[in-house]
Chain A
Amino acid sequence: MADKNKQAADPSAHEHEHGAGRYVLIWAALLVFTLTTVITGRMDLGSANLPLALIIATIKATLVVLFFMHLWDSEGINRLVFGVALLFVLVLLAGVFGDLLTRMPDALPTGRHAHTLEGGDMPTTPALNPHGE
């Protein structure tokens, strides 16, 4: 018999050994963190509100990804895939904020010369090219 390429035993078969208890614990933890974020979220902590909310959300997400989605005992490539996807989200944010934070203020939507329309229709472009059809 030709030797197999990758006879990795099915990782989720191991799951069988961890009972339901693990999930209950994670669920309880998620509820606790939800409560925490609700309470701290509506408090006025100044500039700390956003980082705190993101940290709590990240902890909750990590628990879901690692344990409910079994990434904790899954194949390494799955972890790499998810990690790389998250990395590129950060790349997108970094590239755009690198622009926004360093742009000349008047070129921003909040610049001096910006004025906002109140309700009503979207503006349309004026008459088409005079050399038109």
Chain B
Amino acid sequence: MSSSDAAVHGHGGHDEHDSNPHLAHHFDSIATQNHASRLGMWLFLGTEVLLFAGLFLGYAVYRHFYHDTFRFASHTLNLTLGTVNTIVLISSSFTVAMAFNMVKKGNNKAAAGLLVFTILCALAFLCIKGFEYQHKFAEGALPGKWFTFEEMKGMPGANMFFTVYFLTTGLHAFHVIVGMAILMWVLKKVIKGQVDASYYIPVELGGLYWHLVDLVWIFLFPLLYLI
């Protein structure tokens, strides 16, 4: 049984609670707290994987049924823009990873610059996507009852390709927007010096979310544009 001088807070990590303002009262050490934060984020990323899984299933199912139509339809997408977008996202993943590295080294200035670049990449991605969408609207290459794409009229399952295309890229674009918001929140913390070489978990978690957005696109790109 503990002696009577055990503090009300009741654990030996009392010193760390005093010295580290980021340490919550219910965690015994910042190391455990960071581990918990990371685990929480990975669990959340797991949920995102399962969310997109249903759409990838939809793609797989309808590609299986309408193989030739899907192959034809993928060639009607703008490969150049798709490739540019892929390079943009991969590079943004690189810069956000670098930003995290910079914060850990105490270089908030470089980190901020890298984060700004990442956010601009996200914006570029959305603009290019918007341009592609606009083109699809003009052609009538749209889902379900909106499908009036002359070039593919009469092909079995033609509208299905664009249903899957808009659903997957639409949900992905939504996550890009959310990711941008998260990165802007992280950027604010970096600029204000609320993260630094001793406390960088927000940058780490924000970066993880952004990488997931990139991961989904890494699979979407070949499946929609190439094959």
- Mask, A68-95, CB within 8 Å of B = 1, is 1110001101100110111011001100
Q: How many residues of B contact A (CB 8 A)?
A: 66
**A108 beta carbon closer than 8 Å to chain B:** yes
Q: How many residues of A contact B (CB 8 A)?
A: 65
Collect the chain A residues with CB atoms within 8 Å of residue B148's CB. Answer: 119
**A102 beta carbon closer than 8 Å to chain B:** no
Contact check, B211 vs A41: say whether CB atoms are below 8 A apart: no
Collect the chain A residues with CB atoms within 8 Å of residue B227's CB. Answer: 41, 49-50, 53
Minimum distance in angstroms from A60 CB to a CB of chain B: 5
Contact check, B28 vs A119: say whether CB atoms are below 8 A apart: no
Collect the chain A residues with CB atoms within 8 Å of residue B93's CB. Answer: 27, 30, 64, 68
A78 to B61, alpha carbons, bound, how many Å? 30
Instruction: For chain A, residues 109 to 133, give those with C-beta under 8 angstroms from any C-beta of chain B.
Output: 109-110, 116, 118-122
Contact check, A68 vs B87: say whether CB atoms are below 8 A apart: no
Contact status of A110 and B66, CB under 8 A, knowing A34-B86, A61-B218, A68-B93: yes
Contact check, A31 vs B50: say whether CB atoms are below 8 A apart: no
Contact check, A75 vs B94: say whether CB atoms are below 8 A apart: no
Contact status of A23 and B104, CB under 8 A, knowing A82-B45, A86-B49, A100-B61: no
**B57 beta carbon closer than 8 Å to chain A:** yes
**A106 beta carbon closer than 8 Å to chain B:** no
Collect the chain A residues with CB atoms within 8 Å of residue B54's CB. Answer: 92
A42 to B105, alpha carbons, bound, how many Å? 43
> Hey, which bits of chain B sit against chain A, CB under 8 A?
11-13, 28-32, 34-35, 38-39, 42-43, 45-47, 49-50, 53-54, 56-57, 60-61, 64-66, 75, 79, 83, 86-87, 90-91, 93-94, 96-98, 101, 104-105, 144-148, 153, 156-157, 200, 204, 207-208, 211, 214-215, 218-219, 221-223, 225-227
